[in-house]
Amino acid sequence: MIIEVRTYQLKPGSVPEVEKRFAECLPAREKLSKLTALWHTEIGPLNEITHVWTYDSFEQRMAIRGEAVKSGVWPPPIAEFIVTMQSEIFLPAPFSPALTPREVGPLFEIRSYSMAPGAIPGTIERWAAKIDERVKLSPLVGAWYTELGGLNKWVHIWAYKDVAERQRIRAEAVARGIWPPTGGAPGQLVRQENKLVLPASCSPLR
């Protein structure tokens, strides 16, 4: 399985209309493949949407996207609102949960780490040893690493009820020594970013 994450920076004030048009076109698009998630940023880069799609392979992705464009069902008519577009292809870690429709939020934290070259396998190994205890506190939505796009990138997404729950759970995880995973060579973690996002009304993950 591959995971495509598409991030669009939009003109200020356009997120509600973009999500509306996206939802209107979605039933026809989902006859080809299902949407995993559609989120907009609440804290972080503003006026931004992120939509997530899964495919069996890169070849399937190319075929489905080609058919969607050819048949006229996709993309939605939102070009007038788009400032920038980014697409990245990820592979899931072995312990990453299935990306099925579920209500686990509505607040999602997307944490993106830039790793030193060659550091991803060790990161997966250390996380695998700790993840069972961590997910008892809050749901893991995904743990992925880039195949295409910004390389050596590790992304993990967590679901919370609200900001207060996020703060409480993160503090508890640190206090109990559950999280974060430790170890690894110095300098393997190069840079960290995070953002808090909320689901659109049509998002299967919410």
CA 27, CA 70: separation in Å to the nearest integer?
16
β-partners of residue 9 are: 48, 84
Phi, psi of 100 (to 5 degrees): -110, 155
pLDDT, mean of each 10-residue run, the chain (206 residues): 98 98 97 97 98 98 96 96 98 98 98 96 96 97 97 97 98 95 86 97 98
CA 126 to chain centre: 21
Residue 126: per-residue pLDDT: 96
Is the torsion defined by CA of 81, 87, 92, 93 positive or negative?
A: negative
All structural domains of the chain, each given as residue ranges with its CATH number in brackets, are: 2-199 (3.30.70.100)
Residue 184: per-residue pLDDT: 78
Residue 186: per-residue pLDDT: 82
- pTM of this prediction? 0.96
**Count of alpha carbons within 13 Å of 67, Cβ hemisphere only?**
12
